[in-house]
Amino acid sequence: MIDYNKYPLPARKRHHTNSSYYIPIKDLKVIPAGYPKVIDNIDWRDYFLNGVSPSKLDIGCGRGLFLLTLADKNKDTNILGIEVRQWCCDWLDNYIKNENIDNCGILRYCISNGLSFINDGTISDIFYLFPDPWVKTKHNKRRAFNLDFLLEVYRLLSPGGKLYLASDLIEVHQYHKDILSMFNKLTYSEIISYKDWNLPFTNKELFCKRENIQYYRIIAVK
């Protein structure tokens, strides 16, 4: 369990950040201050004690309950959390370093710029859980989940590797299914039973359970 008395979350932080941070840099006419650095290469020694590249990715890890729990349950596996919001990354980086979690790293990054710094076929699991929905039609372009994203997922996953998706909005869930069907290179199924999911809870998932909000899950396999 995370000790929030020892590691209090920053007060009054907005859930969302600058909307331009979600858009690939090539599509921006003006790059806003604070835009996440575009990365070509990474020295994994800066993120993991053993210096080995990650085999699991938590994309949009937010406040990190899922990320930290997963790392604790898989101590021999390097897990990288990717998040666009600076305050989340700062809080998680402080927690990871002070608690000496050697197999967990946090990277502030916009995944819409691609993940070329990770080698082909090296990832066993990618988690994309409860992403910002951007429900207004004019904001759909800010959704990272698209055909380009799935091309990166397919490149990164090892044979039999899995992409996990979750959302509490039926329209986002349907959107995920539509894009997966268009891509047509991953076999996916909707998950109803928790025993078929068998993953730690996210912060948002716990909120949904407390408030009795329905949510939807998908596993896609390479």
Sequence-separated (6 or more) residues with CB below 8 Å from residue 105: 44, 46, 47, 48, 54, 78, 79, 80, 81, 96
Per residue in 130-159, pLDDT (tens digit) is: 997 655 555 556 678 899 999 999 999 999
Per residue in 147-196, pLDDT (tens digit) is: 999 999 999 999 999 999 999 999 999 999 999 999 999 999 999 988 89
pLDDT of residue 138: 55
* Beta pairing class for 79-83 and 56-59: parallel
Sequence-separated (6 or more) residues with CB below 8 Å from residue 162: 124, 125, 126, 219, 220, 221, 222
Could you give all domains of the chain from N- to C-terminal order, each with its CATH number?
37-221 (3.40.50.150)
pLDDT above 70 coverage of the chain, percent: 93
Please identify every residue annotated as catalytic.
132
Mean pLDDT of the chain: 92
| Among candidate residues 162, 168, 172, 157, the one with its CA nearest the CA of residue 216 | 168
pLDDT of residue 132: 79
Is residue 45's pLDDT more than 90? Answer: yes
CA distance 123 to 54: 7
pLDDT of residue 23: 84
Token pair, residue 35, equals: 């835009």
How sure is the predictor about 19, in pLDDT bands with cuts at 50, 70 and 90?
A: confident
